[in-house]
Amino acid sequence: MGLLAGYTGMYMDIPVMGSKAQLYPDFLDLIFRGWGSQYDPGAPPTYRQRSFEDTSRKIGRLTENHPAPGAGRPSVQQQVESTGALTAPVIFNDADDVKVSKHRMAGKPVFLSLALNLEAGCYDWLYRDKGKKFINPKYLAYDEGLDRRKARGLVVQHYDRRERARITDWNREVVLFLARRRIIKWAQEGSASMGHINSVDFLGPGVIQELVYARSFIQQEAASSHGEAAMLTGMVTTYSF
């Protein structure tokens, strides 16, 4: 794939100000802004994985102290006498002995996370505390003005804003790095290069990452069941970046 095609391609599904034709001068401006062929192209870009902050949004608070993960599960103690005889098993609940995490105390924030599995074609909603541990929603009090439907809508908007920034930043940095590396080689080799491009300076398969919006993914996957798709219908789709 050509670098210009890779650069413009990542904007195909994204509303941009002005004409698509403006992307070409934008592409050149990006390459040469504060840079010349006498400089190093810089370090290769590093792909940033999706983070908790990218996929999660605060939607409420804990109404009471939340048990620690695994707390309250019954356990069994059974001793063997010195004679070899077995004693009766004792079943007890150690929930009261477990210290409550600072993130799971009453009044602490609750986050709703959206997890998309693009390969399996499924998604899930996860309630979590600030420490990223799972929360039972029965301990949740929504923030004022929110309910389950509105909370999910806000999380989808948040997810899509962050995903757009994450993917476009990566694609832009990849194109910028390869373009500058090509230019340096051409400048060093002069006309003898005949515009030759080394294979390592092409965009390989899958290097440019596809931008998948959560809203579109959920609607497609939930098309056969009217619940989730209907829940997101009418949700504000204007994004501010």
Residue at 150 is within a domain: no
Whether 25 and 83 map to the same domain: the answer is no
Whether 17 and 60 map to the same domain: the answer is no
Whether 45 and 81 map to the same domain: the answer is no
Residue 236: per-residue pLDDT: 41
- What global pTM score does this model have? 0.75
Residue at 239 is within a domain: no
Whether 67 and 140 map to the same domain: the answer is yes
Whether 208 and 173 map to the same domain: the answer is yes
Residue 75: per-residue pLDDT: 59
Domain carrying residue 200: 3-51+155-232
Chosen domain end from 95, 115, 144 = 144
Whether 45 and 74 map to the same domain: the answer is no
Whether 201 and 122 map to the same domain: the answer is no
Reported as type and span, the H/E element at residue 133 is none
Cα R_g (the chain), whole angstroms: 27
Residue 240: per-residue pLDDT: 34
Q: In total, how many domains does the chain have?
A: 2
First to last CA, the chain: 28
Say how far residue 61 (Cα) sits from the centre of its chain.
22
Q: Using alpha carbons, select from 118, 144, 117, 114 the residue that is nearest to residue 128.
A: 114
Reported residue count of the chain is 241
Residue 136: per-residue pLDDT: 96
Residues of the chain short of pLDDT 70, as ranges, are 1, 4, 6-23, 70-84, 90-98, 191-195, 224-241
Whether 60 and 45 map to the same domain: the answer is no
- Cα 132 to Cα 39, 128, 189: the distances in Å are 43, 5, 53
